[in-house]
Structure 1
Amino acid sequence: MITFGEFELGISYTSRPGVYGIILNENKNWIALIQTSDGKYFLPGGGMEGSESHGECLVREGMEEMGKLLEIGEWIGNAQRYFYSDKDSQYYLGKGYFYRAEIVGDSGEPVEADHQLRWVETGIAVKMLFHEHQSWALQKALTMIGKQ
């Protein structure tokens, strides 16, 4: 598995597996991102809960973050990142599982009011994503569809 960030000796990392969707528009030149209230950008998706499958996690996260029904698609890959969260004051090993995904409907108002859906040009989005392993996944997805 590709790893980003630096492992620091003596630090206890909390493992955080999550599932994320690469959601492109019809022409595949814009991508759906989530902007949080602190101005950071992320791929739609998030941490797995309990015994959720990858598909169940992505569907739940789509409803919570975007108010959208998502359908999981083609596997892109997985990568991880060591990082420190100022918000949680904790060290994490974020393990990302990345898929192409599509919006297939609305589910109502998003549950997470501090998350906003933004459509961003793919070339710019690669540089805007907060997590390096999410940027890697977007670049890989664009290469797979011949857009990079």
Structure 2
Amino acid sequence: MITFGEIELGVSYTLRPGVYGIIFNEQKNLIALIETGDGKYFLPGGGLEGSESHKECLVREGIEEMGSLLEIGEWIGKAQRYFYSEKDSEYYLGEGYFYFAEIAGEAGEPVEADHQLRWVETGAAVKMLFHEHQSWALQKALVLIEKNEEI
């Protein structure tokens, strides 16, 4: 598995598995990102809760973050990142499961008021994402799209 970040010796990391959707506009030149209240950018999605399936997690996160019903699509890949969360004052090993996804409908107002949906040009988005493993997944998705369009 592809791993980002550096392990600090003597530190105990909390495993944090999450599911994330890569959602493009129709022209595939913009991607949906979530901007948090502290100005950081993330892919739509988040941590698995209980015995949730990947699909259930992405649907719940879409409602919470975007007020949208998300439809999970093709698998992109899995990567992880070691990092320290200033917000939680905790060390995490973020394990990301990445899928293509689409907005299938509206679900009302987002539950998380400090999360804003932003449509960003794909090249800029790669550099804006807070987590390196999310940037990696977006780059991989762009390569997969390019290959499919050539077929």
TM-score (norm 2): 0.96
1:1-148 alignment runs, 5 A limit: 1-146=1-146
Distance in 1 (alpha carbons) for counterparts of 2:38 and 2:88? 14
Report the alpha carbon displacement of residue 8 of structure 1 after superposing the two structures with TM.
1.2
Give the Cα–Cα distance (whole angstroms) in 2 for the partners of residues 18 and 99 of structure 1.
Answer: 11
State the 1:112 CA deviation.
0.2
How many Å separate the matches in 2 of 1:9 and 1:86?
19
- Distance in 1 (CA, whole Å) between partners of 2:72 and 2:104 is 10
- Unpaired runs of 5+ residues, structure 2, are none
Structure 1 gaps, min length 5: none
How far 1:6 moved relative to its partner?
A: 0.1
RMSD, aligned α-carbons: 0.7
State the Cα distance separating 1:9 from its structure 2 match. 1.3
After superposition, the C-alpha distances for 1:10-43 in whole angstroms (9 at most, x for unaligned) are 0000000000000000010000000000000000
Q: Write out per-residue CA displacement over residues 110-135 of structure 1, whole angstroms, 9 at most, x where no aligned residue.
A: 00000000000000000000000000
TM-score normalised over the length of structure 1:
0.98
- The runs of 4+ residues in structure 1 deviating greater than 2 Å are none
State the identity %. 84
Residue type at the aligned position of 2:26: E
Q: How many correspondences in the alignment? A: 147
